[in-house]
Amino acid sequence: MEIPYAVKPRPDTGLYNAKLGIWLFLASEVMLFGGLFSSYILLRVGADLWPHGMVSIPVGTFNTFVLIASSVTVVMSWASLKLGRLGDFKKYMALTIACALGFLGVKSFEYHAKFTHYDVWFKDAATAEKYFKAAYGEEKGVEAARKLFVERFHLHNTKAVYEANQVQLPGHLEGNPLFATHRSLASAKKESFQFTPDAPFGTHDHPKPIEVKLSDVERLSAYVPKHSTYFAIYFTITALHGLHVLGGAIVLAYFLFTANTWWKKNPEQLANRVEVGGLFWHFVDLVWIFLFPIIYLL
């Protein structure tokens, strides 16, 4: 059975069916991301503490450029088909897919960096201070750990007092394991672990690794969704967006690899398919345009 109005517009709507279909789909997508954006606002406004500077701005900016470039190339691939230039279409579509893979590659690099970065909370204030001194020096150790905490949560003007055991020590575990927890280390019969604390605020001088007893640790968590509300919403939104990038890239790659067949069979339908795929791709870019400042900058 032939699908009706795949090329010519339907008389009552003035649109070929796939175009109306993709717009209805995008409407549902707006609701999906809209719900998540409003959840983000709700969680952020309601949070006592909200971290800043947890993601790299240069990396996020680079990915924004990559996605914008892909939006230009995908629309150029459609225009190339309209001009009857199949070769140019292939070139632009290949560039679009390369951008998509580049975006996902950078994102996976970012995710990996988060999954191997840890925060340690200690059982009591005295124990915490002992480790802060071991990490950053006897004299300025406690102050250095508190400075990292203050800068992360922008607590410059607050009068709230946080006990040392509420101040987490950020850093990396020996061997950079993924997703390690207090429980997983205890299951592995470890009594202690080597921990390299992050550099003091405003410097790049990483302290020497310290030996941390597992019995002194209240909580150990990588930067995973379970870590905090911030990472829960961060991973939910960016992973959902990443899945959209992946899905879009697969569809666009299908158009690229079947282009010769479709070009011979029905070039207008190929152009329409690419337009519909492109509309989805631009939506993915549009979501990122809002995600970038919200997640990385504000």
Contacting positions for another protein (CB under 8 A): 8-11, 13-15, 19-20, 23-24, 27, 30-31, 34-35, 37-39, 41-42, 45-46, 57, 61, 64-65, 68-69, 71-72, 75-76, 79, 82-83, 278-279, 282-283, 285-286, 289-290, 292-294, 297-298
- Using alpha carbons, select from 131, 161, 160, 159 the residue that is nearest to residue 145: 131
Give, for 197, the enclosing helix (H) or strand (E).
strand 192-197
- Residue 23 or residue 254: which is nearer to another protein going by CB? 23
Residues 220 and 180: their CA atoms lie apart, in Å, by 8
| 282 contacts 75 by C-beta, under 8 angstroms | yes
Min CB(254)–another protein separation in Å: 21
| 78 contacts 271 by C-beta, under 8 angstroms | yes
- Residue 75 or residue 135: which is nearer to another protein going by CB? 75
- Residue 142 or residue 271: which is nearer to another protein going by CB? 271
Min CB(164)–another protein separation in Å: 25
Min CB(80)–another protein separation in Å: 9
Q: Tokens 């699908």 sit at which residue?
A: 3
- Beta bridge partners of residue 197, listed in sequence order: 171
- Residue 68 or residue 155: which is nearer to another protein going by CB? 68
- Residue 198 or residue 275: which is nearer to another protein going by CB? 275
Min CB(13)–another protein separation in Å: 5
Min CB(262)–another protein separation in Å: 17
- Residue 128 or residue 249: which is nearer to another protein going by CB? 249
Integer-rounded Cα radius of gyration of the chain: 25
Residues 129 and 107: their CA atoms lie apart, in Å, by 35
Displacement of CA 91 from its chain's centroid (Å): 28
DSSP three-state, residue 123: coil
- Residue 187 or residue 298: which is nearer to another protein going by CB? 298
Put the strands of the sheet holding 192-197 in their side by side order: 210-213, 192-197, 169-173, 118-122, 217-222
Residues 178 and 214: their CA atoms lie apart, in Å, by 18
Min CB(257)–another protein separation in Å: 24
- Residue 34 or residue 105: which is nearer to another protein going by CB? 34
Q: How far is CA 117 from CA 86, 113, 215, 218, in A?
A: 47, 6, 20, 17
Min CB(16)–another protein separation in Å: 9
Q: What is the DSSP letter of 227?
A: G
- Using alpha carbons, select from 213, 218, 215, 219 the residue that is nearest to residue 195: 213
Min CB(125)–another protein separation in Å: 24
